[in-house]
Copies of this chain bind each other. A is one copy, B any other.
Amino acid sequence: MNNMDISKHLSIWPKLTKREQERLVEAATFDTVKAGEHIHDGNKECTGLILVASGQLRAYIISESGKEITLYRLLEGDICLFSASCIINNLKLDIMIKAEKDTSFWLIPTETYKSLMDQSVTISNYTNEILASRMSDIVYLMEQVMWHSFDQRLASFLVNESTLENSERLSITHEEIANHMGTAREVVTRMLKYFQSEGLVSLSRGSIEINDVSRLKALAE
């Protein structure tokens, strides 16, 4: 695996000039993290742009008291701008990024990306599209949090996880679900037990089996 592979994961690649492509290949470094490791810790650092090659990252915010909520996931081919928020004025977001699975990624140094963005309208407009896409995710999440009841949100979360994992058996703890959803473990446990009593899921230690995905989907909507 070498940096040349960056071309396969960067959707904008064919639209770049030869020189821009070369600069990216020269500057980007390839790295891996294990599941559970942090790759970016809020506003303090300007880690660089992360381009996911494989695996899964989670972007989240954390409260003063340590509560978490997941803003969005980053999968193969996704780019995270917030790990390089210093490249854009006005972007003052304390977003944390953690690997949910073993993840490989390219890191594009901040200075390289900033200089490309300042010179290339293609890259600058691409950046607009990434920002717009994350913004849509976050407003969607806001709508969920504001207008949807917790049973709807939990049903929706389980359906999404099942799609993401391509499995009806989810290896996830109640604590982890609470951290994704911005709530307390007890709240998750109580609702999962209710779901179990309704025959929607079966609970066992460290995992959840989805028994009736179509009823969960109906509940989510």
Residues of chain A having any CB pair with chain B under 8 Å: 61, 63-65, 67, 69, 71, 85, 88-93, 95, 117-121, 124-125, 127-136, 138-139, 141-143, 145-147, 182
29 pairs of residues in contact across A and B, judged by CB atoms under 8 Å: A61-B146, A63-B143, A65-B147, A69-B142, A69-B146, A71-B142, A88-B128, A88-B129, A90-B129, A90-B132, A90-B133, A90-B136, A91-B133, A91-B135, A91-B136, A92-B136, A93-B136, A93-B139, A117-B125, A117-B128, A118-B121, A120-B121, A121-B124, A124-B124, A127-B128, A128-B131, A131-B135, A138-B139, A142-B142
Residues of B within 8 A of A89 (CB): 129, 132
Contacts of A120 in B (CB 8 A): 121
Q: Are A145 and B147 in contact (CB under 8 A)?
A: no
- Within the complex, the shortest CB–CB distance from A43 to chain B, in Å, comes to 11
Bound complex: CA of A138 vs CA of B139, how far in Å? 7
Cβ-closest 10 pairs across A and B: A91-B132, A124-B124, A90-B133, A63-B147, A131-B131, A88-B132, A90-B132, A121-B121, A146-B182, A89-B129
Shortest A220–chain B CB gap in Å is 14
> Given the complex, which residues of B lie within 8 Å of A93, measured CB to CB?
135-136, 139
**Bound-state Cα–Cα, A64 to B145, Å:** 14
A122 to nearest B CB, angstroms? 9
Contact B142–A145 (Cβ < 8 Å): yes
CB contacts (< 8 Å) of A90 on chain B: these are 129-130, 132-133, 136
